[in-house]
């Protein structure tokens, strides 16, 4: 996963690798190998999301706290260096990556930045549609105020929801 620059976090963090492990007693642990930050959950997705929350908390503290800000990049680099604990995780991660490659699967399409860009694009599209619809409603309301006799009110029911339509008289004739 990649942590992009945002309004709340003005740094781009290099690609972070993680692995999700099923616990013997049930549940999952998602572990960011670079930062040695874990997340826990009943499902793989819950564990991954908990790990992401913990990563974002760590990064915000590391980069935005006056106590750590001076050494934030050095702290990050120290965590990126392989140690005994991360070496075991890297071995499992690399074995998993090779298995995916052998099966013809790619993991490149699952980056958080791509997902965020898609969500932002959809939000922008919905905001444009809402503004367009609001404009239509305002124009119809203005026309109704000016010439109420030019509109016919019709009632419809869709999925047990009443809908009031204001139809211009000329479109009925």
Residue percentage of the chain with pLDDT more than 70? 80
Q: Is the pLDDT of residue 172 over 60?
A: no
pLDDT band at residue 159, thresholds of 50, 70 and 90?
low
Q: Is the pLDDT of residue 164 over 80?
A: no
- pLDDT given at position 160: 66
User: Quick count: other Cβ atoms within 10 Å of Cβ 146?
Assistant: 8
Q: Is the pLDDT of residue 128 over 90?
A: yes
Q: Which residues of 45-79 are buried (b: 16+ CB within 10 A; e: fewer)?
A: eebbebbbebbbebbeebbeeeeeeeebeebbeeb
- Give the long-range contacts of residues 11-15, CB within 8 A, separation 24 or more: 11/59, 11/63, 13/59, 13/76, 15/111
- This prediction has a pTM of 0.53
Q: Which of 101-105, 133-137, 164-168, 169-173 has the lowest mean pLDDT?
A: 169-173
pLDDT digits (tens, 9 = 90+) for 58-111: 998 888 888 888 888 998 888 888 777 778 878 888 888 888 777 777 666 555
- pLDDT given at position 19: 85
Compute the distance between CA of residue 29 and CA of residue 22 in angstroms, rounded to an integer: 6
What average pLDDT is seen over the chain?
81
Across 25-29, average pLDDT: 93
């Amino acid at each position: 996963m990649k942590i992009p620059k945002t309004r709340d976090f003005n740094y781009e963090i290099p690609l972070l690798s993680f692995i999700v492990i099923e616990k013997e007693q049930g549940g999952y642990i998602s572990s960011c190998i670079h930062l040695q930050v874990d997340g826990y959950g009943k499902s793989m997705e819950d564990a991954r999301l908990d790990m992401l929350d913990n990563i974002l908390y760590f990064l915000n503290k590391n980069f935005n706290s006056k106590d750590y800000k001076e050494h934030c990049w050095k702290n990050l680099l120290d965590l990126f260096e392989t140690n005994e604990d991360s070496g075991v995780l890297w071995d499992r991660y690399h074995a998993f990556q090779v298995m995916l490659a052998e099966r013809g699967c790619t993991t490149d399409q699952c980056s958080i930045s791509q997902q965020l860009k898609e969500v932002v694009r959809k939000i922008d599209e919905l905001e444009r549609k809402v503004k367009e619809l609001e404009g239509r409603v305002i124009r119809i309301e203005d026309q109704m105020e000016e010439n109420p006799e030019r509109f016919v009110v019709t009632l419809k029911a869709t999925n047990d929801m009443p809908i009031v339509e204001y139809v211009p008289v000329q479109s009925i004739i």
